[in-house]
Structure 1
Amino acid sequence: MLPKSSKYFFILIMLFVAPFCKAQKISRYDPDTIKTIVLDSVININSHKLNVQDFIDAVTTDTSFYKAFQSMRLYSYSAENSIYIYDKRDRVTGKIYRKMNYSRAGGKPTVQHITKSDSGQVYKKNGKYQLYTVEMFDYLFSNTYNKPLAAPSGKDGKAGGKNASYKSKLKTLIFRPGTKVSGIPFISGKTEIFSPELKQFYYYQFARGTYLDSIMVYRFKVIRKPSTAPGDVMINEMTTIFDTRTFQIMGRFIDMSFSNMFVSFNVRMNIEMNNFNGELLPVKVSYQGNWDVPLHKEERASVLITHRDYRREN
């Protein structure tokens, strides 16, 4: 049986939930690779005085992507969240929708709900969320606004409640991709896609393009080779886009799947950033995923989060 901590982690990977119409089917959000980038051409990175290791080092050592989420709590901004829960036939069974204005006037964080609606199978009888996916969504986004988001360590957390270690694993996966996520039987090492053991299973692709109509970027794509056997890897694709002027990471897409007797999941997530007065901040998160382990209810969800109108408050 999969250890309890690992069960929670895979539910964490699932990340989100939401509109309810019984037996209704909707098209899931498809977080395709950074849709807001227009590619110009495939590039020879050597002609740009770069090499593969430059991109790998930038991905594995970057802190600006994580810092962008930390910086949210210093700003006022508008947000819109649409989260859907599905049954095994992909019919919507639960919905959360929020349209909010966050403010830090006078240094005190406040949230004004312009629109707020929940319906379907969202909460337990004790008032807690049905899915750990939703709990983690609140942790990464709503909680981030009110207080700092602890740095991803890659280690199991013991303090901060029973879910601390699961949150730590999730942060490592999102903010430190390509590094080992410890404490996950059969899978921990499969996140180290740049290791000597796993590099053989991937292709690297490079392109140049324009992001958000004006920002010139490099796109570094790590793709699983078609010849790779099932179970050899967990990450099918990881795409990162870099500002060509600063090498700052502007966006990241991750496609993960795995299946064995202990766990089965299929997850796609896209996070995009933009600069506001020189500070990098999140503007869009889209996600969809299925997750299933023995003796636990299967979780299926999709989400679309947008942030806009950032304003620095004193």
Structure 2
Amino acid sequence: MLKKTLLAFCVIISAFSLKAQQIPRFNPDTVRTIVIDTPVANIRSHKLNAQDFIDAVLADTSFYKAFQNMKRYAFTAENRIFTYDKKNRINGRVYRKILHDREQGKNKVTYPAKQDSGAVYKKNGKYELYTIEMFDYIFMNAYNSEFATGGSPINPKGKNAGYKAKLKALIFTPGRKISGIPFISSKTEIFGPDLRQFYNYEFARGTYVDSIPVYRFKVIRKPSTADDDTMIKEMTTIFDARDFQVLGRYVDMKYSNMLFDFDVQMNIELNRFNGELLPVKITYQGNWDVPLHKEERASFLILHKDYKAVQ
């Protein structure tokens, strides 16, 4: 039971660097898409304070709704997944070009291109890595994801529903306590009274995709903080300066003890089409390891483009 619980938790964490990195992986850093006016600015000089940004992070619903908005659009997705062995050599590749459309109110998915190689599937046809299965569910709509049909960000149904709920909570409602995670449930509550002492807040202004004025609010672990005091090492949120809606989120999480070890990063970026926020890029890289189970190492690049409104 403990093994299963720890395995599930580590997969959840993977939805959000790497030790002894020997090959290039996708760098999930939303800041690379933003031109920063000044490296660090004074929040108060802009008539804002850290609590304004914290409140906005905790209250935001636009980030999840951007994924719900996809059901009203046809679009093209390109997904690249790489898995790695213990020496960080690629041992599995997945490429998907996916056309999403709507016919008679239902989501239609076609695959103009599908390429797999290496250690991707088990003999029974299931994915070799549980990490890929979870990402396939969340971001690729292969299992009729709630992002295609509406649904709740924290109430999925079906197999592994509890794990998927925690995964979605970590991605779309960050900063809150996620119950049911062994040993470190409280370490997700980074804005709570017990953890605030371990973090610094940084603020900057910049421009996103050449024209959108943004605020970058970074919550970053203090250098003097012990490694085991925190799980989330950095969380950066990009706000549209015009309406304070979230345009991007980057999370860096790392934790290690005698029972499990993970080191992962994830980034999600949005943009507007017809005035609505829609996801355009998801990147991930990470390792996780628990006793009596194969270590999982993977990286993802998911791109969405060519959005067209449909009835």
TM over 0.5, yes or no?
A: yes
Aligned to 1:234: 231
1:43 — aligned with what? 41
1:264 aligns with 2:266: no
User: So what's the TM-score if we normalise by structure 1?
Assistant: 0.92
1:140 aligns with 2:138: yes
In the aligned structure 2, how far is the partner of 1:169 from the partner of 1:223?
22
Task: Pick one of 270, 286, 290 that aligns with 2:287.
Answer: 290
| TM-score, with structure 2 as normaliser | 0.92
Asked whether the equivalents of residues 14 and 300 of structure 1 are also in contact (C-alpha less than 8 Å), the reply is no
Amino acid at match of 1:75: Y
The aligned amino acid for 1:104 is R
1:160 CA drift (Å)? 2.0
Alpha-carbon distance in structure 2 between the residues aligned to 1:202 and 1:297: 33
Aligned match of 2:70: 72
**Deviations for 1:26-62, whole angstroms, at most 9, x for unmatched residues?**
4111112431110002332223221111100111121
Deviation per residue, 1:112-141 (Å, 9 max, x gap): 222111111111111111111111111111
1:85/1:95 contact within 8 Å kept: yes
Cα deviations by residue, 1:128-176 (Å, 9 ceiling, x for unpaired): 11111111111111223532242226xxx7x522x11110111011001
Asked if 1 retains the 8 angstrom alpha-carbon contact of 2:6 and 2:290, the reply is no
When residues 152 and 238 of structure 1 are mapped into structure 2, their CA distance, relative to the original with a 3 A threshold, is same
What is the number of equivalent residue pairs in this alignment? 301
Aligned residue for 1:117? Answer: 115
Q: CA RMSD in A?
A: 1.7
Return 5+ residue gaps in structure 1 as ranges.
17-24
Distance 1:15 1:247 in 2: 25
Q: Given that residues 265 and 290 in structure 1 are in contact (C-alpha distance below 8 angstroms), is that contact kept between their aligned partners in structure 2?
A: yes
Could you tell me the percent identity over the aligned residues? 63
Contact 2:15 2:266 in 1 (8 A): no
Match of 1:174 among 171, 175, 188: 171
Q: How big is each residue's C-alpha offset from its partner over 1:268-292, in whole Å with a ceiling of 9 and x where there is no partner?
A: 0010000111111100001000000
2:152 counterpart residue number = 150
* Structure 2 gaps, min length 5: 17-21
C-alpha contact (below 8 Å) 1:15/1:134 kept by paired residues: no
Q: 1:107 Cα shift?
A: 2.5
Matching residue's letter, 2:13: I
Per the alignment, in what secondary structure is the counterpart of residue 218 of structure 1?
A: strand
Task: Answer whether contact 2:30 2:268 (CA < 8 A) is retained.
Answer: no
Letter in 1 for 2:255: F
Q: Which residue of 2 aligns with 1:88?
A: 86
CA distance in 1: counterparts of 2:270 and 2:30, whole angstroms: 14
**C-alpha distance in structure 2 between counterparts of 1:146 and 1:207, whole Å:** 35
Specify the alignment match of 2:190 in structure 1.
Answer: 193
Matched residue of 2:140: which SS? helix
Counterparts of 2:97 and 2:233 in 1: how far apart (Å)? 33
Matched, 1:107 2:105: yes
1:205 positional shift = 0.3
Report if the CA contact (8 A) 1:82-1:96 is conserved. Answer: yes
Amino acid at match of 1:47: S
SS in 2 for 1:35: helix
Q: Are 2:202 and 2:218, in contact at CA under 8 Å, matched by a contact in 1?
A: yes
Higher mean displacement: 3-12 or 219-228? 3-12
Q: Does the aligned pair in 1 maintain the 2:30–2:248 contact within 8 Å?
A: no
CA shift, 1:74, in A, is 1.7
* Structure 2: distance between partners of 1:181 and 1:82: 29
